[in-house]
Chains A and B, each alone.
Chain A
């Protein structure tokens, strides 16, 4: 302690100490290494053992990855090329299968001359999600968010432009129904009208209206059948739709489960418990085989749509339970304060309860989403050609019979990229929403 005068109890500092850099040991790369990897003998030993393991793993895998063939046209040709290039004892990856089949792994049997459509659809979907996911995006992009649910399916499946217009019109009708009925029949009947009118429209009239308009003014793009969908495009179509729809449905189910209205509560508990109690694969079989029996005859209910409904239902039930956990973690005082300020149920939920409950639930919700996205590979079992389904058919090809690691490695890598970005996003969101220390 410089500057203290030891001989007297009274003290006045006569020289101020300027800022000095910290000692070398605690900063820079060396400081980091010391603190994180070699802080104690145990830590140092663990570091060395881990380095050795990682080294051994890389030594085993890297040569296989690098000593590869990109140009061959069959597995046997691959092997010959590798032996010729790296010696008779070497084995290497046959990435040629990816080069030859990557377009199918990504687009399935979608006609190659209109690959731009799924790409544009994917871009539209991301553009529509952006203003929801990131606060920095200009608010005008929300128009794209509103248009995306109609634009994306139209781009993917094609056909007349009047169909998405007719579907969108259903929402206008619902809104109109609410505005007409609510003032004289009350909010609940208004809400029922807002739900019933569009459903009737979609089921009975929307198709005819779209057909009629198409005859008057033919506008459309080449239709693509669901049979041609496949690869990652299929996984993303199913996964992204199920994920975006399951959040609002999950929220409603979680709220319904806490409702004081007995019927609402019983229905929500029933749906959640039933769906959670049944394997997804069973639901997919139901979608594949049974759902058509419940539909009016001659309606050809698209298989991908059926699968999306089931996967969405499945995801919603899990999301609902995760959110229920978040709701339970919220102190009762928050509800009381909202009530005491005169906020009604929906405003309190929207402004006070959900922002906090969802924030608590982010890790769980994102885990559910990641799980759902990976579970889309199960559709291969009911004959849809998602990447896993496709890899089976590639392996059945005479040229590629016996290839395993390269295909699954590629698929795993693609899934990892998607899931890892979701996980990073959730961490970003948690950091952004952190307020104070409570």
Chain B
């Protein structure tokens, strides 16, 4: 998809564990949406999660920062177990950044205010420092000149890059992406993917729900395929795309790559 040359040798994975999910189950009412999820993710890994609509991909990554509550099993993020303890939840949330399909920028605040709000109010960073950090990351996603505009005045691609910068301003160790490019016009997808590739090169632990298979081949070190709330297959991207082992995976791949 993206033609930015990337040097895979720079993508290193540490052997420290970032996220550990053990025997996790989740229900929406009576509907068993996630079933016996076991997943260990090390620091520096770039995981792409794919699967048909309704398979529970969003629910899975939303459990990692507790936007959704799991009912059984264990989730440990950066050494902190997610329980009902609000302190732990807040701690995890300030370590884990999230980027949404529909950007979810705060429309009543300027781009700069969007980026400085959480550092100032959650991390208690002095305002001046927060502004400097925000400008640093806005520069990085290549839109420092928009800092004083409101989200409604930006294009979709620009908004999504602001959303990424806003998460980065909290200096997270882990980034979650839930279909970050699927609400974008084709010509804007590349600018967002380039930003994500850059992040990967800097060693960020990333979990991306996406259907951008080019991105998966280039950046991911592991692709996870989900169906009906279960992890059906996971493998390195080359093997995953060239030799899918399960029939469901083959069917899915033929549908999204086929035509």
Which residues of A are interface residues toward B (Cβ below 8 A)? Answer: 331, 333-334, 336-337, 339-344, 347, 351-352, 355-356, 359, 433, 435-438
Contact = CB atoms under 8 A, between A and B. Distances in A.
A339 B89 CA distance: 10
Interface string B53-93: 00000000000010100000000000000000010001001
B100 A436 contact: no
Contacts of B93: 339-342
A356 B121 contact: no
A344 B123 CA distance: 12
A437 B118 CA distance: 24
Given A356-B107, A436-B153, A438-B152, A341 B122 contact: yes
Contact residues of A: prevailing secondary structure: helix
A342 B170 contact: yes
B167 to A, nearest CB: 8
Nearest to A356: B108
B151 A438 contact: yes
A337 B106 CA distance: 8
A339 B94 CA distance: 9
Please give me the 9 A-B residue pairs with the lowest Cβ-Cβ distance, nearest first. Answer: A436-B152, A342-B94, A438-B152, A337-B104, A333-B104, A341-B118, A436-B150, A342-B93, A340-B98
A386 B167 CA distance: 56
A148 B225 CA distance: 63
12 contacts: A336-B100, A340-B65, A340-B93, A341-B94, A341-B122, A343-B121, A344-B86, A355-B108, A356-B107, A435-B150, A436-B151, A438-B151
B102 interface: yes
Given A437-B153, A438-B151, A438-B152, A341 B117 contact: yes
A435 B107 contact: yes
B104 A438 contact: no
Given A336-B100, A341-B170, A438 B117 contact: no
Given A343-B121, A437-B152, A334 B94 contact: no
Contacts of A356: 106-108
Nearest to A435: B150
Contacts of A436: 107, 149-153
Nearest to B86: A344
A344 B124 CA distance: 13
Contacts of A352: 106
Most chain A CB neighbours (cut-off 10 Å) among B107, B108, B117, B153? B108
B94 A336 contact: no
Contact of A435 (B97, B102, B108, B170): B108
Contacts of A344: 86, 90
A340 B175 CA distance: 11
Most chain A CB neighbours (cut-off 10 Å) among B94, B97, B104, B117? B104
A347 B121 contact: yes
Contacts of B166: 341
Contacts of A341: 93-94, 117-118, 122, 166-167, 170
Given A340-B65, A342-B93, A334 B121 contact: no
Nearest to B121: A347
A219 B90 CA distance: 52
A331 B122 CA distance: 22
Contacts of B167: 340-341
A169 B105 CA distance: 42
B108 A433 contact: yes
Contacts of B65: 339-340
A351 B90 contact: no
A438 B65 CA distance: 28
Nearest to A350: B121
Contacts of B67: 336, 339-340
Given A340-B93, A342-B94, A436-B151, A334 B118 contact: no
Contacts of B98: 337, 340
